[in-house]
Amino acid sequence: MVVGDFPIELDTLVVGAGPGGYVAAIRAAQLGQKVTIVDKGSLGGVCLNVGCIPSKALIQAGHQVENAHGSADLGISTEKVSVDFSKVQEWKASVVNKLTSGVEGLLKGNKVDIVSGEVYFVDKNTAKVMDDKNSQTYTFNNCIIATGSSPIEIPTFKFSDRVLDSTGALNLDEIPKKMVVIGAGYVGSELGSAYANFGTEVVFLEGAKDILSGFEKQMTQLVKKRLKKKGATIITEAMAKGVEETKDGVKVTYEAKGKEETVEADYVLVTVGRRPNTEEIGLEQVGIEMTDRGLVKVDKQCRTNVDNIYAIGDIVDGPPLAHKASYEGKIAAEAISGEKSEIDYIGIPAVAFTEPELATVGMSEAEAKEAGYEVKVAKFPFAANGRALSLNNSDGFLKLVTRKEDGLVLGGQIAGPNASDMISEVGLAVEAGMTAEDLALTIHAHPTLGEITMEAAEVALGTPIHML
């Protein structure tokens, strides 16, 4: 980067190249804007580099190990399964590299300028981009801020070689014999499950009454059952108090049921949430309004109180989901171009890649009733589906929440294999205002897990074929 005495003029500056930022940049460029995207890290942000993608790769490798041990039910047994964890990490890195290279190609193909550095706002139309050596000033007509979030660090659990955040847990060079996981939400439950499949003894310490808050108890019970089958210990309503690091491991102190306890392990993974990356970039210079939690206030077009600056993703209200950030990125880019696009989260899904997978979209039964709807709930078990039985993976169910008067699909919840893929059909039904009859009349291929959606719709109509 050359030190710039003269500012570079842009239509749109995008700050942050994660799944919100790079999607916003591409959409803005498609709409004819001259766009520069800036990030101090790697293209793809947390999601592609140290989040969604590498964690799913590690989870998949764990499944392979579990499957390699065979199944007595299927008459398959193996004498010995070995894992070269360095090879697992190499494969995981190759998946990440393919995707980050792909993002770079997409940005360049859409004529988006890519700049590496940290951004500091000077005023509502000016920002400085700095690296270790140089500084360049940019002026812009509009800006989309997509700086993402970082793991929350507990003061008594400072991150180190033995006290890990999610990034550290993804990049271990060994399979731990024992691991303590503080926080059993999405990240903790997913990574804990993955390491349990590799043979790690996992102890979960969760402060709430149940794991995976946000999902219904019927769903989380299935996950707990699988975790316990893998030898995991789950301690709820537990308060982590401190950690003592040793040369070879950690000793974690926690309180549960009024008693102070300790547990020793090789590592402790801390997954208690994320904080928005909104500090030290000069937002106060611009006068951007923030919430008490450090989130940026935005309207339905992702516009801040400063009319030419937009914010998306983890730094605005709502769940910190990659697909939410991408969706908002498109809205912001289109709003800048004068389109009437607005946020509508009615069909946004949430997924946990646990065992079994959990997925939800639209309203739950409780939320629909609270909103004043008279509802009908239809449930169909995976155990009554031929494909699930042939996969030897039939724990779980699909639940449809419909409006009683006309069968309008208000939401759905799935616990079972491939729930992450199956939820899209229910999401489409919610988004498009479809009814249970629409789903029931859609011919689904046989034998597939997708048939479960059709079967649940038939239950909603009172005409189930494969269920009494």
E strands in 289-420: 309-311, 350-352, 358-362, 375-381, 397-403, 409-415
Local structure of residue 36 (DSSP, 8 states) = E
Q: Is 210 helix (H, G, I), strand (E, B) or coil?
A: coil
Token pair of 23, please?
């999607």
| Contact in structure between 166 and 267 (CB atoms under 8 Å) | no
Which ranges in 399-450 belong to alpha helices (H)?
419-432, 436-441
Please report, for the chain, how many H helices and E strands are present, in that order: 14, 24
Q: Which helix or strand (DSSP H or E) is residue 313 part of?
A: none
| 125 CB-near residues (< 8 Å, 6+ apart) | 139, 140, 141, 308
| 338 CB-near residues (< 8 Å, 6+ apart) | none
| Contact in structure between 145 and 268 (CB atoms under 8 Å) | no
| Catalytic sites, residue numbers | 446
CA distances from 123 to 126, 281, 312, 336, 362 (A): 5, 11, 19, 19, 39
